[in-house]
Amino acid sequence: MPEPGLAAVHALCAAVTPPDPRTARRSQLRQRAQARPPDALGALDAVAHRVAGIRRDAAPGPLPAAVSVLAGDHGVARHGTSVYRHGYTARVLELIRAGHAPVCTLAARVPARVECADVGLCEAVGDQRYKIGTGTGDITRDAAMTPAQAVEAVLSGARYATDRLADAGLLAIGELGVGNTTPAAALTARLLDTAAADVVGAGSGVPADVVARKRRLVDVALARHADVPAGDPLALLAALGGFEIAGNVGVILAAAARRQVVVIDGTMTAVAALLAVRLCPASAGYLVAAHRSTEPAHRALLAGLGLDPLLDLGMRLGMASGATLALSLINGVLAVAASTPSARSAGLVPSR
């Protein structure tokens, strides 16, 4: 018998069913009869059909939107892998809670409310109901967390999603975590069986010598945890992950079970998405990629997920900023799909 936490993760996965392809097809047929050229909005029309299948509604119209940011600290950051130090993550989370961070300004334009939680900061910030630990271990020397903590973090993310995000049909997810591109690169390398040199980037904007140091650290971490099965997402999370990454795995699974559209942001949410899909393949149908960041790991992860991003703006801000920008695009095309009259009713039937 699996331990209770593991059984709860399995139950969460079992609650996810794939989106309905018949409703997505009805959305396509409906759009082709509208007073505009078929698929004239390109990738946005494709997203509208995908959302229709997720929501089981051929013309759902604009959806209530929310933005989520989970925060955690990383032990490997003590090697100087970021331009920022421990404590910075907590300060930025406080800015988000006060409504003064960039993501808050972007969300107000959607409009979407912003929710956030401390799931693994070294300092205590705000609501502590979802917190699992005070920063992860240094993955070059030890596991990031215990197996029990990894499971608990996934379930905590799911509980947070149920408590704070359940009313949003459209959900942008993001994270905060000084140094988290290093564990994300390590996870990407294991999940996609690639070399550290191919997935380590500048992260917060570090110079070339620090990028080289990050590659060495990822190589050390991969060697230390080489015995962890690549086919066991929870074991990989425990060995190489972060509390905010694990928490977002739970957010994705819980949102998919509620038939919410999940808009992923950058590298950290993409690696969480790939872990969620490895745990629960049906969750893949609920994901929309907002943008392609400057991190090489992000490009590899999007390819691994089979997702084409809506935007490619060279962003690396994090905190769900790219995903928040995409909310306006998605709700815009949903409004067009729901409100455009038929070509026949508008007297615009094409000539043959």
Q: Could you report the per-residue pLDDT of 250-299, keeping only the tens digit for each?
A: 999 999 999 999 999 999 999 999 999 999 999 999 999 999 998 889 99
Q: How many CA atoms lie within 13 A of 63 on its CB side?
A: 29
**Are the C-beta atoms of 79 and 141 separated by less than 8 Å?**
no
- Nearest-Å Rg of the Cα atoms of the chain is 20
Overall domain count for the chain:
1
Query: What pLDDT, on a 0 to 100 scale, did the predictor assign at position 1?
Result: 35
Average pLDDT of the chain to the nearest whole number? 94
What are 34's strand-pairing partners?
Answer: 342
The answer for residues whose C-beta is within 8 angstroms of residue 51's C-beta and 6 or more apart is: 60, 63, 261, 288, 330, 334
What are 23's strand-pairing partners?
Answer: none
Structure tokens at 260: 């919410």
Alpha carbons 267 and 188: distance in angstroms, whole number: 9
Q: How far is CA 291 from CA 114, 131, 295, in A?
A: 19, 28, 11
Query: What pLDDT, on a 0 to 100 scale, did the predictor assign at position 350?
Result: 63
What is the extent of the structural domain holding 83? 65-331
CATH number of residue 178's parent domain: 3.40.50.10210
The answer for residues whose C-beta is within 8 angstroms of residue 251's C-beta and 6 or more apart is: 68, 70, 157, 158, 160, 161, 165, 171, 173, 262, 272
**Are the C-beta atoms of 79 and 217 separated by less than 8 Å?**
yes
**Residue listed under structure tokens 């989970």:** 70
Q: Is residue 19's pLDDT more than 70?
A: yes
147 residue type, one letter: P
Residue 34, domain member (yes or no): no
Residue 304, domain member (yes or no): yes
Residue 37, domain member (yes or no): no
Query: What pLDDT, on a 0 to 100 scale, did the predictor assign at position 317?
Result: 85
Q: Please provide the DSSP assignment of 147-191 as one string.
A: HHHHHHHHHHHHHHHHHHSTT-SEEEEEEE-TTTHHHHHHHHHHH
Where helices occur in the chain by DSSP H, the ranges are 4-14, 21-32, 43-55, 88-98, 102-109, 147-164, 181-192, 196-199, 208-224, 233-240, 243-257, 267-279, 296-305, 321-339
Query: What pLDDT, on a 0 to 100 scale, did the predictor assign at position 143?
Result: 98
Q: Could you report the per-residue pLDDT of 60-111, keeping only the tens digit for each?
A: 999 999 999 999 999 998 887 676 676 789 999 999 999 999 999 999 999 9
Residue 179, domain member (yes or no): yes
Q: Could you report the per-residue pLDDT of 167-206, keeping only the tens digit for each?
A: 999 999 999 998 899 999 999 999 999 998 898 876 666 7
Length of the chain: 352
Residue 346, domain member (yes or no): no
Residue 307, domain member (yes or no): yes
